[in-house]
Amino acid sequence: MKSSFEQNGGTYRQVGDFKIPNLTLSPEEANINLGKWGMLHKDYLLKHKKVLFTTLLTQGKLYQHCAEIENQARDMFDTLVEQMKESDGVTEQLKGKNQMEWVRKINNIQSRAREIVCSNIIYI
C-alpha cells in the first residue's frame, strides 16, 4: 500500500533500515529569496510548529508561505516605523539639531516595531 506521499508523486530513498523522503524544491520555490522576516518565521515553524512546517514543506509551499509572511511583516514594520516617528516627533530637523537623540529615538522606534511585528505576524 502506497503512502499519501507516494500517491502524490513522492519518492523515498533507503538509508539503512529507514526510508527517507526525497524532498526537492519546486522551481518556483527554489527562486524565492527569503529576507529577515521570512527566515525568522521559517525558523519559528521549524522549532515550534513542526507539523505545519512539515506539511508546508512536503506540499512544496513552505517558501511561498514564508515569502508572504516576509512581505506582510516588512509592510507592517515600515508602516509602524513611519507612524511612530510621526507620533514621537522624530523629524529631519531633530536629526540636524541633535543627531545622538535622533539615533536613540529611531533605535527605540525600530525595536518597538520589531516587537509588534514578531508578536503579531512572525510568531503565530
pTM: 0.78
Residues 6+ apart with CB under 8 A from 41: 66, 69, 70, 73, 121, 122
The share of the chain scoring above pLDDT 90, in percent, equals 72
Query: Hey, what's the cell of 98?
Result: 541633535
pLDDT for position 60: 83
Q: What is the CA radius of gyration of the chain?
A: 21
Provide the residue ranges of all domains of the chain, joining segments of one domain with +: 25-122
Dump pLDDT digits (tens) for 49-100.
Answer: 999 999 998 888 999 999 999 999 999 999 999 999 999 999 999 999 999 9
pLDDT higher at 34 or 26 = 34
Higher local confidence (pLDDT), 22 or 8: 22
On the 0-12 / 13-18 / 19+ scale of CB atoms within 10 A, 63 is: buried
| pLDDT tens for each residue of 14-26 | 999 998 888 776 7
Alpha helices per DSSP H over 2-58: 4-7, 27-30, 36-48, 50-58
